[in-house]
Amino acid sequence: MKKQQNILIIGAGLCGSLLALRLGQRGYNVSVYEMRPDLRKVDINAGRSINLAFSNRGNKAMKLVGIEDKVKTLCIAMNGRMIHDKKGNTFLSNYSGRDHEYINSISRGGLNALLLDEAEKHENVSIYFNKKCKSVDFKKTTALFKDYETKSEFIEDADAIIATDGAGSAMRKSYYLAKKFLFSFSQDYLTHGYKELSILPTQTGGYKTYKNALHIWPRGSFMLIALPNLDGSFTVTLFLSYDEGTYNFDNLTTPEIVSEFFQKEFPDALELMPNLVEDFFNNPTAPLGTVKCSPWHYKGNTLLMGDSAHAIVPFYGQGMNASFEDVVEFDAVLDQNLENWEAVFKAYESTRKKDTDAIADLAIDNFHEMKDHVANPIFQEKRKLEMALEQNFPNEYSSKYSLVTFNEDIGYHEAMTRGRAQDKAILNMIADKEINSNDDLKVILKKVKKATQDILDDDKIAGLK
């Protein structure tokens, strides 16, 4: 394919700006249209999560485009989950038994601004703001935009259009509504929604609670979490049912009830949040949804990438990482020098789809794990054992969490399959008292490996994998 081809990217969020940067580096003529104002000039954080979990898969993409060091300055390491019980007791549960494996809290805005700056350094990359995509004619390879400044509409064409316009993608909607091909599509909402709150910095700009952890207040059917920001604040998120349980979003309607709820369930968090009631009633309650679809591409004309193709719930901290990994995978397909865009899009989707399906399912699993299992004794024993295995056999054992989060050279689907089998093996061996924490670790490792392999083999024979 000729490098001088014109690529139109819809959306200059995290995925779109990274894709623009990478395609710019590869020599394509890239035009990016973004519906929001330039976030480097206007403050537009409202309604979207302020900070995000950034880990190995995301970092692999940063290495690919050569900005790993710049991104590092935006990161705050989170070594584990700091779990808070109702009495305010805390304990730290590391993410890995290997010290160099941790995740990071990063500012969405800061990272997006960096990616836009880097993309715009390329002459062959142009980014236009305040241009909202209304629909895509995938047969003609054209997109219809509304200019929010001039209020006029205009059509752009390109050799190929890639939509990175997020969970509410206009191009995905065009695929769905046009009914020109069989488009499999799902949107699945949890019965829980979320609301962002905050712990402000101390008067001297310090952190009011431990900085280097992802804080969790698990309460069985709901939970609160907090991630640190560079300015000393924490962004706090409440995950709660819309309409079930004693307290829910539908009935938390007065300052008194909200305060009562936090006093009863999260007293230590409430102490750090004198601004709770104000935040609670100022900030929106948003739904938690999973989107899957296929095909992502229409012939060689158009392609969905990032959240537009696979929006996931936030509980594995992998949403941004998965979208960045999309760009890494797409780049690898471009390296194969296939004959045309249709071959590229097809090859990309056929290798990538199983992995984005897997992280979507893993994220739902982790919703239940975080709000519930982390406070469960048998689960805690499993985690303790896995930490010991990772510490003592750093090259031989990785937990499901580590496979997903820290093993960027293993696809999500393989991480899920192996990780689930391991979890099942260990939980059953603990329950059946076939292993216990006093046993020799080498013996335990051998038993875990054998039981895991047996589970995988049995599933295979039953045609389940």
Residue numbers of the site for a copy of itself (CB under 8 A)?
A: 182-189, 242, 287, 289, 292, 368, 373, 420, 423-424, 427-428, 431, 458-459, 461-464
Least CB distance to a copy of itself at residue 300 (A):
15
Residue reference for tokens 């790993």: 68
Output the six-digit token pair for 65.
């485009």
Are the CB atoms for 16 and 34 separated by under 8 Å? Answer: yes
- How many Å apart are CA 48 and CA 156, to the nearest integer? 28
Task: In whole angstroms, give the CA distance from residue 329 to residue 319.
Answer: 15
Quote the least distance from Cβ 188 to a copy of itself, whole Å.
Answer: 5
Minimum Å gap between C-beta 427 and a copy of itself is: 5
Instruction: Report in angstroms how near the CB of residue 82 gets to a copy of itself at its nearest.
Output: 24
Nearest to a copy of itself of 91, 185 (CB atom)? 185
SS3 307: helix
- Decide: helix, strand or coil at residue 13: coil
* CA atoms of 355 and 336, how far apart (whole Å): 20
Q: How far is the CB of 350 from a copy of itself (least distance, A)?
A: 12
Nearer to a copy of itself, 8 or 456 (CB): 456
What is the Cα 275 distance to its own chain's centre?
A: 28
Q: Which is nearer to a copy of itself, 88 or 220 (CB)?
A: 220
For the CB of residue 144, give the shortest distance to a copy of itself in the complex, in Å: 20
C-alpha distances (whole Å) from 147 to each of 27, 130, 167 are: 27, 6, 21
Residues 31, 230: Cα–Cα separation, whole Å: 32
**Nearer Cβ to a copy of itself (131/172):** 172
> What minimum distance in Å lies between the beta carbon of 262 and a copy of itself?
25
CB 74 within 8 A of CB 14: no
**Residue number, 84 or 420, with CB nearest to a copy of itself:** 420
Residue 97 structure tokens: 């038994």
Please state whether beta strands 29-33 and 153-157 pair in parallel, antiparallel, or not at all (unpaired): unpaired
Give, as one character, the DSSP assignment of residue 46.
Answer: T
The stretches of 26-123 forming alpha helices (DSSP H) are 56-65, 68-72, 108-120
- CA dist., res. 58 & res. 358, Å (int): 17
Q: What DSSP character marks residue 315?
A: G
The values of phi and psi at residue 258, to 5°, are -60, -45
CB 461 → a copy of itself: shortest distance, Å?
A: 5
Tracing tokens 């090259």 back to the chain, one arrives at 395
Cβ 294 to a copy of itself shortest distance, Å: 9
